[in-house]
A and B are shown apart, each in its own frame.
Chain A
């Protein structure tokens, strides 16, 4: 079993939709939870990070962490075609990031 599981998609939504991206994990020691956006043939870009449980909002993006369920989510409101990318979740384990496999998102105009 992988430490971090993420549905690969692809996820296709119309412009303006609310997008929900999710990851589950098995290691209860994880404390930091990250979401990255990766455009094709580019390096990952950190979108948001959360420490421990709770919510964090940044513009159209909201990250949620439920440590009791070992489940994290990223919500994108009013999705735009420019949001089309692969979204990677990652978790921190003693200076090492453990990544999910990524979810491809396509926002149709």
Chain B
């Protein structure tokens, strides 16, 4: 988890509330991504970014929005939270050239939507 931080670590929301998860990295990595992990399942890609100012949809993008205004930050937004969005969210980064020698995940954000 070197160099990748996620804020907050835990959060409880009520249905319909909004929130933003922040991923920050200090490694100057081009690629950043957001995954969710549900019990008994692997990680599923929500959105990703291949550089500052760019974003793209992943496997499960509905109900989420993202922004990458600064290279070091990747924000994940929930406009109107639903219980189905209860999950653990992981941010990841990857170095230039999509190098797996430089790939890291953050420690995760545990989100509960009541």
Q: Which residues of A contact B (CB under 8 A)?
A: 4, 6, 8, 32, 34, 41-46, 49, 88, 90, 92, 95-102
Task: For the complex formed, measure the closest distance between the CB of B56 and the CB atoms of chain A, giving whole angstroms.
Answer: 8
Tally of B interface residues using CB under 8 Å? 24
Q: Which residues of B contact A (CB under 8 A)?
A: 1, 4, 31, 33, 35, 40-45, 48, 50, 58-59, 90, 98, 100, 103-108
Known contacts A34-B100, A95-B48, A95-B50; decide if A43 and B106 are in contact (CB<8 Å).
Answer: yes
Known contacts A95-B48, A96-B48, A96-B58; decide if A46 and B42 are in contact (CB<8 Å).
Answer: no
A49 touches B100 (CB 8 A): yes
A43 touches B1 (CB 8 A): yes
With a cutoff of 8 Å between Cβ atoms, the chain B residues found around residue A99 in the complex are: 35, 42-44
With a cutoff of 8 Å between Cβ atoms, the chain A residues found around residue B107 in the complex are: 42-43
Task: For the complex formed, measure the closest distance between the CB of A24 and the CB atoms of chain B, giving whole angstroms.
Answer: 14
B31 touches A95 (CB 8 A): yes
Nearest residue in B to A3 (C-beta to C-beta)?
B59
Task: For the complex formed, measure the closest distance between the CB of B35 and the CB atoms of chain A, giving whole angstroms.
Answer: 8
In the complex, what distance in Å separates the CA atom of A50 from the CA atom of B61?
Answer: 28
Nearest residue in B to A34 (C-beta to C-beta)?
B100
Shortest beta-carbon contacts, A-B, top 6: A99-B42, A43-B105, A49-B100, A99-B43, A101-B42, A44-B105
Nearest residue in B to A104 (C-beta to C-beta)?
B40
Known contacts A32-B100, A95-B31, A95-B98; decide if A45 and B40 are in contact (CB<8 Å).
Answer: no
With a cutoff of 8 Å between Cβ atoms, the chain A residues found around residue B98 in the complex are: 92, 95
Partner of A6, one of B1, B4, B42, B44: B42
